[in-house]
Chains A and B, each alone.
Chain A
């Protein structure tokens, strides 16, 4: 086993720990904290009484399933890793980049509980909006502009990174060479992904509040967090593609699984990690979820 193999195994263990244990545990703890500190009896607007007979129990069950799924995936990952070590799998011997599929597929599996949790949160917020029968509507009289939430430097960096990647990619392909289908898919795929980031960012920035009871201070904090996440995601995506182009150009295929795993971990650190860091549960105003919050 070479040093590259040892690095790969160490980084892959970190991927398992970070994505399937560390951040899920933090998310689990946040939800338990909310359930214990802000019970359904005192904070009815936080729970969906119309959908569940015991909304606290339903929420607890969901979050337990989320944690159990993550732990199962973590154990599966460790099992695969042991099997790989036992079978003598060595990324240092990789000659074709198809071997990185393993890291990608495992990451996709790791992402499933997170995506399901995100979907269930959106469903929960939708239910909250549906249950809000108040005829009174509120709005903040402060404009929300992009640069109030993210530094122009990072936005410029995202644009420059994208341009740099396009130039680098086409330079590698040959500027005078006719584009094949792969080039079209890559260029339009990347542009499409950036447009998705922009549309999500715009939705948070200008769209209506996802949580109808949320204070404007908390809403602005959430917008700041999410806009930064999307800008960083765009930067990382461009950088990652340039790194992989460089790897392919220079025949460093053996580093691809390592680079891929590092990329996924960075995505999670700047994605879920950023949300957990910036949107601290202790700082959120939960009084808005009390029954008589309107009278306060």
Chain B
């Protein structure tokens, strides 16, 4: 299993390392208890600073994706797959943030965004069914 980062990419290097390891866990390429390379080895292989990998490992450990067992090394956490879903929340927040910024750039007010969001959420019920009938509250009442 190998990871790949782009040193000229927009995302910070530590974030790329985190994303790659989480992806490997989510896709089942890394299982609970699998050993991971040491900070020094991974930093050396990726030709990046040890501190960058250490930061990525610290954040992954904080999120219970990996665990460090002293001198024995670093392993994938037993609950890593469950904890990886937290990544989806972060992704949702990030995506919503982008959309909100786009709406603001288009001079849509926050109230309008909130109403529209609630409307869309109501129309797309949590069981996956969507209603085709528009909600009158979707009109601009703010």
Interfacial residues, chain A to chain B (CB-CB below 8 A): 135-144, 206-209, 216
* Stretch of B45-53, B81-89, B134-142 contacting A (4+ beta carbons < 8 Å): B45-53
Determine if B47 and A140 form an interchain contact, defined as CB atoms under 8 angstroms apart: no
Within the complex, which residue of A135, A136, A139 is in contact with B45, where a contact is CB–CB below 8 Å? A139
Interface locus among B5-13, B95-103, B122-130: B5-13
Query: Among A136, A141, A209, which residue has its beta carbon within 8 angstroms of that of B37?
Result: A141
A141 cross-chain contacts in B, Cβ below 8 A: 1-3, 21, 24, 30, 36-37, 42
Contacts of A209 on B, CB cut-off 8 Å? 45
Contact, CB under 8 Å: A140 / B4: no
- 10 A-B pairs within 8 Å (CB atoms) are namely A135-B6, A136-B4, A136-B5, A138-B3, A138-B4, A139-B3, A140-B45, A141-B21, A142-B37, A206-B40
| Residue on B nearest A219 in the bound complex, by CB | B45
Contact A143 B36 (CB under 8 A): yes
Taking the nearest CB of chain B, how far is it from the CB of A102, in angstroms? 44
- Measured between beta carbons, the chain B residues less than 8 angstroms from A144 are 37, 41
Contacts of B6 in A (CB 8 A): 135-137
Among A135, A141, A142, A206, find the residue whose CB has the most chain B CB atoms closer than 10 A: A141
Interface residues on B, range: 20 to 34
A138 and B2 within 8 A (CB):
yes
Query: Does B111 belong to the interface (CB within 8 Å)?
Result: no
Distance in Å from the Cβ of A190 to the closest Cβ of chain B?
Answer: 29
Q: Taking the nearest CB of chain B, how far is it from the CB of A217, in angstroms?
A: 11
A143-B35, A216-B2 known; A137+B46 contact, CB < 8 A: yes
Choose among A143, A144, A216 the residue with the greatest number of B CB atoms under 10 Å from its CB.
Answer: A143
Are B2's CB and A140's CB within 8 A?
Answer: yes
A143 touches B2 (CB 8 A): no
Q: Which residues of A contact B44 (CB under 8 A)?
A: 206-208
Does B58 belong to the interface (CB within 8 Å)? no
B33 within 8 Å of A (CB atoms): no
Q: A139 to B7, Cβ gap below 8 A? A: no
Chain B residues whose C-beta falls within 8 Å of the C-beta of A139 in the assembled complex: 2-3, 37, 42, 45-46
B48 to chain A: which residues have CB within 8 Å? 137
A207 CA / B45 CA spacing, docked (Å) = 7
Contact, CB under 8 Å: A140 / B46: no
Q: In the complex, what residue of chain A is closest to B7 when comparing beta carbons?
A: A135
- Cα–Cα distance between A141 and B5 once the two chains are bound (Å): 13
- B68 CB within 8 Å of chain A: no
Chain B residues with CB under 8 A of A143: 35-38, 41, 73
Q: What sequence of 0s and 1s flags, for each residue 8-27 of chain B, a beta carbon within 8 Å of any chain A beta carbon? A: 11000000000001001000
Q: Which 4 A-B pairs have CB atoms at the shortest separation, nearest pair first? A: A139-B45, A135-B8, A141-B1, A137-B46
Question: Cβ of B4 and Cβ of A137 under 8 Å apart?
Answer: yes
- Chain B residue nearest in CB terms to A206: B41
**Across-interface contacts of A206 in B (CB, < 8 A):** 38, 40-41, 44
Nearest CB on B from A221, distance (A)? 16
CB distance from B48 to the nearest CB of A (A): 7
Residues in chain A near residue B8, CB distance under 8 A: 135
For A207, what are the chain B residues with a Cβ–Cβ distance below 8 Å? 44
